[in-house]
Amino acid sequence: MSKIKPSKGAPYARILGVGGYRPTRVVPNEVILETIDSSDEWIRSRSGISTRHWASPEETVSAMSVEAAGKAIADAGITPEQIGGVIVSTVSHFKQTPAVATEIADKIGAVKPAAFDISAGCAGFGYGLTLAKGMVVDGSAEYVLVIGVERLSDLTDLEDRATAFLFGDGAGAVVVGPSKVPAIGRTVWGSEGDKSETIKQTVPWTDYRDGEVEKFPAITQEGQAVFRWAVFEMAKVAQQALDAAGISADDLDVFIPHQANMRIIDSMVKTLKLPEHVTVARDVETTGNTSAASIPLAMERLLATGQAKSGDTALVIGFGAGLVYAATVVTLP
């Protein structure tokens, strides 16, 4: 018989607060057209994107995260000293070690929290949210800060007609804490590594370091393959998340998919047969694809503009490089 005592965490976990940060520089499609042969009409029709935000040198991964985290902590009504864990999802922090989460934790004033980075691409927020829920329920932390943050402008090839217009920068954060009722459903997550070549970094860092290539590594993708996978396969995953939460599409108030592409979002809405009363996040139009930051940024905007309200039931799903995915149903803070 085991001598280990049972954990004494919360019965359930919930999102208590949300915050976001978008860089001050707004970049319209006209800027993108300076380096690719395309048109504003083509970019809008293919992606739904009209503008995106690009970070200045001062708006680092850490700096943007600190801004978003501060807002989320204030929104949750707690103090930084109460944060017991900091999870940061990013693919664009270029210092391999230490984890940027440790720097962020120190800057926000958290006291010796668990702090680590994860790399799960555009599904990273869902992965972080799931880990945070486990920490709260397990009792290893009462409050956990989950941050999705990217400076994808650093990984954008402005001469790549397929991706130059897609990516933006920003940070989104949530605080996860104890709840007396279920407020974060079971996560449906996974990976399809046989499709890992469809979204990838062009070359390893070492190829650039060793002079084997002259062009700095960037993110590239096979657009049509990604579109088909996202629309058809991720709609199935989204339905599985609804089933796991014990609800139907009719019970939803809000749908917050990864802000990859407006066509993907609209196609998923159609495939899932979401009722007209469901509010759909379409933050991609003015923010672009911010990978791990896209879901919390979209959530924050919906709440700030009154398109969604506290207590609403929302389906969130992230998907991207790996190929990886994560979907769950949450109660909005």
Q: Tell me the pLDDT of the chain (333 aa) as tens digits.
A: 789 988 888 999 999 999 999 999 999 999 999 999 999 999 999 999 999 999 999 999 999 999 999 999 999 999 999 999 999 999 999 999 999 999 999 999 999 999 999 999 999 999 999 999 999 999 999 999 999 999 999 999 999 999 999 999 999 999 999 999 999 999 999 999 999 999 999 999 999 999 999 999 999 999 899 999 999 999 999 999 999 999 999 999 999 999 999 999 999 999 999 999 999 999 999 999 999 999 999 999 999 999 999 999 999 999 999 999 999 999 999
Q: Which residues pair with 169 in a beta bridge?
A: 151
Residue type, 211: G
CA dihedral 69, 219, 324, 22 (to 10 degrees): 20
Q: Which of 29, 122, 261, 277 is catalytic?
A: 122
In the structure encoding, which two tokens stand for residue 145, read together? 């800060």
Task: Tell me how far CA of residue 260 lies from CA of 47, 215, 237, 248, 287, in angstroms.
Answer: 8, 25, 16, 24, 10
Beta bridge partners of residue 87, listed in sequence order: 116, 146
Say whether 298 sits in a helix, a strand or coil.
Answer: helix
Dist CA 321 CA 286 (whole Å): 22
Tell me the sheet residues that pair with 318.
Answer: 326
- Could you confirm whether 258 is annotated as catalytic? yes
Backbone angles phi, psi at 204, to 5 degrees: -65, 155
Residues near 274 by beta carbon (within 8 Å), at least 6 away in sequence: 249, 252, 255, 280
**CB neighbours of residue 248 within 10 Å:** 11
Report the b/e string of 297-310 with b at 16+ CB within 10 A: bbbbbbbeeeebee
Integer Cα distance of 26 and 287 in angstroms: 9
Q: Say whether 263 sits in a helix, a strand or coil.
A: helix
Catalytic site residue 261?
no
